[in-house]
């Protein structure tokens, strides 16, 4: 039996679109979570840790970072690491790259399809490293030759797409006979079968990365395979719609938003992407409400999709003698679509009411 862990797209060195202090916290968390995963490797006594690309971001990775990475692999000298470079950490002999980490327990693929053989474990691990930012074509993979071996493949690629990031066809990959294919590049976990998986990035990296994030643990015992995905991320991104109504007061709305978010996760830990919908009264200022609660969140962004609730006839009758009445009268006769008219009336009324003290 062989056991391994798959972890891809860590993006060490990344700067986050956050205030500097929080960006630094997040940068460090990438290192900590990677160590947590290596600790699992030690605990489970895995034979290999597979790293199929984008371990770091080369534009943000300095000599000191490479030295730190090397120390990390030295600390885990009981683990064998197998590394295939991707588009963010592609190899370039003229610059510093992953080959700086020159250690007996770290096995790094070059820019040609090849394999490492582990004779005692009856394992061959195949892979390929990128040498540029873009790869418009997929690569040819020779069928496996040692059928009684554990044959594993590491690829940093896109599946079934016309992408510029090494497009590979899933049926082609399935036809090659590998016991396991560890994919990198996509940041969310995707399973094509229990033998072909993207583990996704262990920490989510932006607002698109909702859902669970972690690593894959796998055991192969002859023809039997066991895989499990484990969510290990320190923080998660959440996207949620919060509906309000015109009867809610300022305080009602504040507590409603906080309640809905807290139902999902700790707001001072996670990332929230809110879409605020429903009707609101004229005198409710969503931007201001959000600005006073935003400090309670680690990070939050929002879209105000609320509409003002009003009865156009009633408003007109109340305002026949002033500019609001004139405005309604003018807009009702304008030769524009109903949706467009509603938008203009709603925004216009809000501006006019604001100015009427």
Positions touching Mn ion (CB under 5 A) are: 54, 86-87, 185
Shortest gap between Cβ of 172 and Mn ion (angstroms)? 20
Report the residue number, 163 or 227, with the smaller CB distance to Mn ion. Answer: 163
Which residue number, 124 or 213, has a Cβ lying nearer to Mn ion? 213
Question: Shortest gap between Cβ of 135 and Mn ion (angstroms)?
Answer: 10
The minimum distance between CB 285 and Mn ion, in angstroms, equals 42
State the Cα–Cα distance between residues 191 and 187, nearest whole angstrom: 12
What residues does 214 pair with on adjacent strands?
231
Output 52 or 150, the one with its CB closest to Mn ion. 52
For the bound state, the minimum distance from the C-beta of residue 200 to Mn ion, rounded and expressed in Å, comes to 11
Nearer to Mn ion, 128 or 302 (CB): 128
Distances, alpha carbon 92 to alpha carbons 18, 88, 96, 216, 285, in Å: 30, 12, 7, 29, 53
Minimum CB distance to Mn ion smaller for 135 or for 284? 135
Q: Name the minimum Å distance from CB 186 to Mn ion.
A: 8
By beta carbon distance, the residue nearest Mn ion is 185
Dihedral pair phi/psi, residue 38, rounded to 5°? -65, -35
Nearer to Mn ion by Cβ, of 155 and 267: the residue is: 155
Tokens of residue 133, six digits: 């930012």
- Which lies closer to Mn ion via its Cβ, residue 87 or residue 319? 87
Least separation in angstroms between CB 54 and Mn ion: 4
Work out how close the CB of 130 gets to Mn ion at its nearest, in angstroms, rounded to a whole number. Answer: 9
Cβ distance to Mn ion smaller for residue 58 or 107:
58
What is the smallest separation between the CB atom of 84 and Mn ion, expressed in angstroms?
Answer: 11
């Amino acid at each position: 039996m062989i056991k391994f862990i798959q972890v891809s797209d860590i993006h060490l060195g990344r700067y986050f679109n956050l205030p500097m202090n929080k960006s630094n916290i997040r940068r460090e968390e990438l290192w900590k979570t990677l160590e947590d995963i290596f600790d699992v490797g030690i605990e489970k006594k895995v034979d290999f840790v597979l790293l199929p690309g984008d371990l770091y971001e080369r534009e943000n990775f300095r000599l000191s970072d490479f030295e730190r990475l090397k120390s990390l692999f030295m600390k885990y000298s009981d683990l064998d690491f197998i590394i295939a470079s991707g588009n963010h950490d592609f190899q370039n002999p003229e610059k510093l790259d992953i080959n700086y980490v020159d250690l007996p327990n770290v096995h790094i693929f070059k820019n040609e399809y090849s394999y490492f053989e582990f004779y005692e474990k009856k394992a061959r691990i195949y892979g390929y490293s990128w040498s540029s930012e873009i790869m418009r074509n997929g690569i040819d993979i020779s069928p496996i030759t040692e059928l009684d071996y554990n044959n594993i493949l590491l690829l940093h690629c896109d599946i079934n797409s016309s992408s510029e990031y090494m497009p590979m066809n899933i049926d082609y990959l399935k036809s090659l006979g590998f016991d396991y294919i560890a994919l990198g590049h996509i940041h969310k976990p995707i399973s094509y079968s229990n033998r072909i998986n993207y583990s996704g990035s262990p920490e989510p990296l932006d607002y698109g990365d909702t859902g669970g994030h972690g690593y894959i643990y796998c055991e192969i015992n002859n023809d039997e395979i066991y895989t499990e995905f484990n969510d290990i991320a320190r923080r998660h991104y959440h996207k949620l719609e919060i509906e309000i109504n015109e009867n809610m007061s300022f305080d009602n709305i504040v507590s409603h938003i906080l309640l809905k978010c807290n139902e999902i996760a700790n707001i001072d830990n996670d990332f929230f992407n809110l879409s605020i919908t429903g009707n609101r009264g004229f005198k409710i200022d969503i931007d201001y409400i959000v600005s006073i609660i935003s400090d309670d969140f680690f990070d939050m962004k929002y879209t105000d999709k609320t509409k003002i609730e009003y009865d156009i006839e009633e408003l007109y009758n109340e305002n026949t003698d002033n500019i609001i009445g004139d405005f309604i009268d003018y807009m009702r006769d304008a030769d524009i679509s109903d949706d467009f008219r509603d938008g203009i009336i709603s925004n216009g009324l809000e501006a006019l009411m604001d100015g009427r003290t």
